[in-house]
Amino acid sequence: MSQQAKQLFDALLTLSHHFSTSCCESSHCEEFSLIDYLALRSIQNQPQCSIQTIGQSLGFTKSGATRVIKRLEARNLVSICVNPEDSRIKCLSLTGLAEDCLDSTTSLQAQRIDRLLKKMEPEAAAQLVQGLQALIRHLK
């Protein structure tokens, strides 16, 4: 592994930890883990998806995904219903509370990032955004 790759990996871990430790300032929304946030975002992007779909998007087994979803359901963030076409499949949807929490988290984190980007030279900030977007495109 190149030194550049090691440095980028360390930087991405540091950023992930920094931005996953504080989710929102809303009093009605307790903090949740990065995994919880990613599960909620996956459900938001794929309404009425199955637990198995969430497991695939997170890289978890179905039982691992079930534990995440049950935890979110207990916090009134996810609703689970039975698929009308196949009763073996459980469909997931976000509650209003989850929608509010995601909106609050996105807003808070975007504001934090905006403050950081404003401390950078505009060209460096634009290069950072472009570089991260290019890296993400190569993930797929």
Q: Could you tell me if 52 and 91 are in contact, meaning their C-beta atoms sit under 8 angstroms apart?
A: no
Q: What is the CA radius of gyration of the chain?
A: 18
pLDDT tens profile 21-69: 555 555 556 777 889 989 999 999 998 899 999 999 999 998 999 999 9
Higher confidence at residue 126 or residue 140?
A: 126
pLDDT of residue 96 exceeding 60: yes
Q: What distance in Å separates the CA atoms of residue 47 and residue 67, rounded to the nearest whole number?
A: 19
User: With a threshold of 0.95, does the pTM exceed it?
Assistant: no
Three-state secondary structure call for residue 28: coil
Helix (H, G, I), strand (E, B) or coil at 33: coil
